[in-house]
Amino acid sequence: MVVLGLTGSVAMGKSRTAELCARLGVPVFDSDAVARRVTGPGGAATAAVVAAFPEAATGDVIDRAALARTVFSNRAALHRLEAIVHPYVALARDAWLRRQSLARAAVVVLDVPLLFETRGDAHCDAVLVVSAPRFLQRQRVLQRPNMDEHRLRGILARQMPAAEQRRRADVVIPTGQGLRVALRILRRALRRYGPRRRGRPRPLR
């Protein structure tokens, strides 16, 4: 089974690319969805997060907006939150990979926003990075609710620069040139990293 990592900076088109993978029949592990689940009502990490951030909770329910405000400009608080949540996401990822292996999946995708930052690429046979011009990224971000330049700068400060992500990528998928281009390169990548290939061929561009 070939494990492909999928990552990219904010608003680069990662979620859309993950949807394309699923439409092509490739199983996708959504790390963000798992993080939301384990911090939701009755989630495995909820009690620990509430204990660490009581100001961002009502009873035993996490107020996600308040939690985001708490950790947004406080790196120590963000690291404390990640130290609680990331191990649960890793456990879910490993269990998911075992299930996919037992199901004899040929290729699977790990959709992880901070793949390089958390060294999740060590679990991957190759990494796909989605990318778009900076002006388009900014345009996409500012169309989102409750987003502004200040929040964008804060998010980018926590992420590896897009240029460095592209440098580390095995495949760069441009999402600013239309769906057809992105889909063509994605299909090529899925064929290239099929189960019969070993190692990492040189990156596609």
Residue that wins the pLDDT comparison between 70 and 203: 70
Instruction: State the Cα–Cα distance between residues 44 and 156, nearest whole angstrom.
Output: 29
Domain-located, residue 192: yes
Asked if the model's pLDDT at residue 145 lies above 90, the reply is no
Q: pLDDT band at residue 200, thresholds of 50, 70 and 90? A: very low
Picking from 103-112, 116-125, 152-161, which range would have the lowest pLDDT averaged per residue?
A: 152-161
Shared domain check, 194 and 117: yes
Taking the C-alpha atoms of residue 55 and residue 155, their distance in angstroms, rounded to an integer, is: 22
The three-class DSSP label of residue 62 is strand
Q: Are 39 and 46 in contact (CB under 8 A)?
A: yes
Q: Which of 57-71, 99-113, 187-201 has the lowest mean pLDDT?
A: 187-201
State whether 99 and 124 are in the same domain.
no
Same domain assignment for residues 11 and 112: yes
Task: Evaluate whether residue 204 is within a structural domain.
Answer: no
Flag whether 55 is in a domain: yes
**Domain finish residue from 58, 81, 104:** 104
Average pLDDT over residues 25-44: 97
Average pLDDT, the chain: 91
Distance, in Å, from the CA atom of 167 to the CA atom of 120, rounded to the nearest integer, reads 16
Checking if the pLDDT of 205 tops 80, the result is no
Average pLDDT of span 183-203: 72
Phi, psi of 2, rounded to the nearest 5 degrees: -95, 130
Nearest CA-CA partner of 13 in 133, 149, 99, 95: 133
86 is a domain residue: yes
- Expressed as residue numbers, the domain containing 76 is 40-104
Phi, psi of 196 (to 5 degrees): -85, -10
For the segment 146-158, the average pLDDT, to the nearest whole number, is 86
* Structural domain includes residue 20: yes
How many separate domains does the chain show? 2
